[in-house]
Structure 1
């Protein structure tokens, strides 16, 4: 029993030292109840100042010509599409290489020419927009609106050409 007594004494001494060490570290030092830096920040969206587009003489000079080119390409395509549509209807029973089939294919090729003219105008609009962006200027509303109109017409023309071509026998 004697040997157990010193062991119990050592264990008691270790426990008291550990408790004293913990008490010495926390005595008088409690965590602060003041707000931390992360708690005092704002989660509100920052206000963004939108720069207004100033008049751009280069764009203003190019837009009327591009607008006229786009309007002409759209109108000419519409007329040619009616003819191509009618020729495709008559060529449906014709064999590949027949006169009616060739006439319809020629009309579809003409549609591609009008679509290419419109595509070129869209490319010119893209170039104007990219030049403005490279200079750090904001979007130009007239340029953006004309680009949207031209791109929608270009997509519509591509779909119309595809629809007409699908009605013709494949070569």
Structure 2
């Protein structure tokens, strides 16, 4: 067997392998902050997207506003009637004719408030669709939403005040 002698190369190979282990034991990496660490972890400022007029959305907002105005007028007319009936029923026993008339008017108010609430829901859906599309808030839509929500809250408070003015229904009055 003719093998080349490796014995003469052994010291050279050992020197090469040991040279890889040789390092300066006093040189450590710097613990000073690196340039990238000095920047911080805050989100960078983003420039808001420019607001682009949306005629189709403006038309939908106008239609919803018109429907809301109609619902508000109907509610106000019915609320005036319900207030008159509630004043007439003040002090009347639960189950009396005046009390029943006032309760019927309150039920009508609830129905009209629901029509107004439907418009609030439509406006909320429009805003949600814009948010899902990652579009910026649309000022006309936000204004219409806030006005509709404020009107809905006022309607609820008006109904609650009329309800409190009437005698509570009792089990014996309905039996």
TM-score of the alignment, normalized to the shorter chain, above 0.5: yes
How far 1:58 moved relative to its partner?
3.1
How far 1:44 moved relative to its partner?
6.4
Matched residues in 2 for 1:33 and 1:111: separation?
Answer: 72
Over the aligned positions, Cα root-mean-square deviation in angstroms equals 2.4
- Provide structure 2 residue ranges, at least 5 long, that are not aligned to the other structure: 1-23, 170-175
Matched residues in 2 for 1:30 and 1:132: separation?
Answer: 55
Which aligned segments of 4 or more residues in structure 1 are displaced greater than 6 angstroms? Answer: none
Counterpart of 2:73 in structure 1 is 75
Matched residue pairs, number? Answer: 147
Matched ranges for 1:32-51 at <5 A: 32=30, 34-37=32-35, 40-42=38-40, 46-51=44-49
Question: 2:112 aligned to 106, 111, 114, which one?
Answer: 114
Matched ranges for 1:17-28 at <5 A: none
How far 1:142 moved relative to its partner?
0.6
Q: Deviations over 1:114-156 (max 9, x none)?
A: 2111100011111111222222211111111101100010011
SS of residue in 2 equivalent to 1:144: helix
How far 1:56 moved relative to its partner?
2.3
Counterpart of 2:53 in structure 1 is 55
Counterpart of 1:12 in structure 2 is none
Taking structure 2 as the reference length, the TM-score comes to 0.72
Counterpart of 2:123 in structure 1 is 125
Taking structure 1 as the reference length, the TM-score comes to 0.73
Matched residues in 2 for 1:140 and 1:117: separation?
Answer: 24
Matched residues in 2 for 1:31 and 1:95: separation?
Answer: 89
Matched residues in 1 for 2:25 and 2:127: separation?
Answer: 68
